[in-house]
Structure 1
């Protein structure tokens, strides 16, 4: 696999994932050898080299998705949670259905989510998997890694879980009961031993990821989990400041802001990233920026749940590392990286425009149309995510980097008439036809097809699984 050589020829444009003038390459050809990018330029074919035509294609680094909940791939558009904000939605959909999953339905959900991501050009997925409870009947981690391996994708397991619950444990169904802290940490150590690859071009990583910073564990356990994570050499991730409720809860429980609470318990730093960060105070942004903590920005889920829009421009200027996450499909019915990056581009501009004060001097209005460029979005969605995950050999199109890249063929009317074809996959939205996609130099898609995938069979499995989940969820307990 790694010794196969390819020459990608005649690309219309190449976006590199880099900054400023380096964001676009003037080259047309890319040589791949031994899983890496060997040369970039105007190149001639070498013996025993397979040529891949990139005519009418633009080439991007493959996307890096830093926050997902793959089990939710079977909960799209679930009626009870469709028009709810975060807290009510959690009770109505993900928590109501969590006990309905068994090994078979969970595997189908994971497969659907990974395939949806791959078909958008995503090579690396960090899944915040929190379906854990005492006496679990199946090993979700084994299924996640297995399904990712079958597709040739890089997979990061953010091992979620909770040692606290808002209800009385004796009255909760088994699937809603918390784990013991020692059991949680023991499983983290087991997973690190089985799967974790510490190098910068790894295909498998483990992350310490309690489900919620404020509600899933005690302050002492929260601090201890950070100590254990760093002893094991793994990174840390959780949800934070998705809504104003986080500010209220942190003040009521700890008499501090959510970010101050995380900082007090050693949960900030360049080995930590949080999903959402929609509602931040200026002093919190300063802490996050000074410690170079990262963010997984989830614009579609935040919009769907009515949570708001994270201010990526301000966060990056403060010193944070920016990445993009899809979040779960139960709050994002198009759980792919092209939809997500398209939304990120538009919503950063909308946010700046909403906050702008009309300037009537000279008849000018200062809007938000310059808030984020396409090149910014590509950088955040590729190398930004790779940096957060510790994958320094991934995320850019440069000589010596791992060959994770995607060729988008722009032969659909959606892209006709564009003056700058390079921006098409992000600016025009939709799902572009993938001419070819490579992960570590292996071709994982060709002519928009995933090898050995029967899409009709998968569709049938999804319909059967949804019916089964609906039947099992009837009468299941809800939590507020």
Structure 2
């Protein structure tokens, strides 16, 4: 090993690999070549190698980048616009009308860039998105350097983007074709929800997903009203309907899944469905508390998402991970539910597994891509430090995220964005605020 030379070394006071719960490496070093983790070196081993650059993080935790398993990035431009409303009131009377007036290629591109800047600054390296104007979202991901899953929304009713379900699907496939071969961009089919998508369209989505080898991303069982409406319209609960239509499979990422029976949990586990848990959005919209502890106990893969900034109102995955752990405890009245190490696993490896990229990211392991974040624990808010894993979940704030790498490329250094211009992002956001206010009257 004495002759080994690497492009980059990163040495940290603590490394949380997420390969094994509770394991922390002290003063170890990651060796990187071509954006990939080539070795994990002890202090003695590190002394025997050389590198083009060496980052020393003497007060930091180094860990996998966070995977935001459910978001609507462009909706960052609608942040705070219609707060303290019930979900359907929020959607039908405020958000959908606003989107009808404003959503465009430029809106999605600018909103996505703003969201990605915010997500980088809170430790997110992968976003699983769902919205319109998919090429704009993909371009934003490439411009920012974020690992981006572009969810192609599918509905039955017309919007400014498409006229009907077939039109949404046609545009999704056309825009997807423009980005084939991009390492950081992939596309998913995103039928919006059981209450906005017909049986025929769901069948088309299932067939297309198999033909094109695509994931499916859908809001399911978010509110009790959704379940009740399905019982009235279809005489069955949404999950039972979707199971009959063939939607339940390892391809499916089901967002929210708040209102579930024990039989439905068993059904989800049997079919290998992954779930995107959105604790803050569920609390803010009073949707309820998802049975995360039961889902995990049944072997269901549960990741964490922020939802959109219009319903959260921030895209802070560190905060979301904390909320996920705390909400599970109060929801079960069990303080041992979702311990800190499990919460970190949900926010990293579980999300990667849901997206089919656990062989590339989600943990720190030789051979995986270097999607990494560093969190400075030498702050008043995280002192004294008895347990770095506990501090990441229960004490650290997004402002302590100092460095972020995607594929080994630094996108945040000492809290400064390197691929995006912060002043430009704020100027774009303010320009949209002025435009939106003008049209809203």
- TM-score using structure 2 length: 0.92
Measure how far apart 1:449 and its partner are.
Answer: 1.0
Task: Decide which of 400, 424, 427 is 1:433's aligned counterpart.
Answer: 400
Task: Decide which of 446, 458, 462 is 2:425's aligned counterpart.
Answer: 458
1:61 matched to 2:64? The reply is yes
After TM superposition, the structure 1 = structure 2 runs for residues 62-141 of structure 1, keeping only pairs within 5 Å, are 62-78=65-81, 81-101=82-102, 102-129=104-131, 131=132, 140-141=133-134
SS in 1 for 2:218: strand
Measure how far apart 1:178 and its partner are.
Answer: 6.2
CA distance in 2, matches of 1:6, 1:423: 29
| Counterparts in 2 of 1:344 and 1:196: CA distance versus 1, 3 Å | farther
Deviations 1:276-328 (A, max 9, x none): 00011222111101111010010010011111121212112223211111101
Deviations 1:346-366 (A, max 9, x none): 11111111xxxxxxxxxxxxx
| Counterparts in 2 of 1:82 and 1:182: CA distance versus 1, 3 Å | closer
Measure how far apart 1:36 and its partner are.
Answer: 1.1
Measure how far apart 1:342 and its partner are.
Answer: 1.6
After TM superposition, the structure 1 = structure 2 runs for residues 40-439 of structure 1, keeping only pairs within 5 Å, are 40-42=40-42, 43-44=46-47, 46-78=49-81, 81-101=82-102, 102-129=104-131, 131=132, 140-164=133-157, 175=160, 179-197=163-181, 202-212=183-193, 214-353=194-333, 368-391=334-357, 392-439=359-406
2:377 and 2:385 in contact (8 A); partners too: no
Alignment match, 1:364:
none
CA distance in 2, matches of 1:142, 1:444: 22
Deviations 1:93-149 (A, max 9, x none): 3212102324433332111111101111111111111x4xxxxxxxx2222111111
| Counterparts in 2 of 1:257 and 1:56: CA distance versus 1, 3 Å | same
Measure how far apart 1:17 and its partner are.
Answer: 2.0
Measure how far apart 1:206 and its partner are.
Answer: 0.9
Alignment match, 1:8:
10
RMSD of aligned C-alpha atoms?
A: 2.0
CA distance in 2, matches of 1:347, 1:327: 16
Measure how far apart 1:82 and its partner are.
Answer: 1.2
SS in 1 for 2:127: strand
| Counterparts in 2 of 1:192 and 1:458: CA distance versus 1, 3 Å | closer
| Counterparts in 2 of 1:207 and 1:104: CA distance versus 1, 3 Å | closer
Measure how far apart 1:470 and its partner are.
Answer: 2.1
CA distance in 2, matches of 1:334, 1:180: 31
Measure how far apart 1:429 and its partner are.
Answer: 4.2
2:13 and 2:26 in contact (8 A); partners too: no
1:196 and 1:206 in contact (8 A); partners too: no
1:14 and 1:422 in contact (8 A); partners too: no
CA distance in 2, matches of 1:263, 1:189: 25
Deviations 1:160-210 (A, max 9, x none): 121247xxxxxxxx63x9633332332233234222459xxx411111111
SS in 2 for 1:189: helix
Task: Answer 1 or 2: which has greater strand percent.
Answer: 2
CA distance in 1, matches of 2:68, 2:404: 16
1:123 and 1:153 in contact (8 A); partners too: yes
Larger displacement relative to structure 2 (432-441 or 262-271): 432-441
Give the unaligned 5+ runs of structure 2: none
1:242 and 1:278 in contact (8 A); partners too: yes
Alignment match, 2:30:
30
Measure how far apart 1:413 and its partner are.
Answer: 1.7
2:135 and 2:175 in contact (8 A); partners too: no
Measure how far apart 1:216 and its partner are.
Answer: 2.2
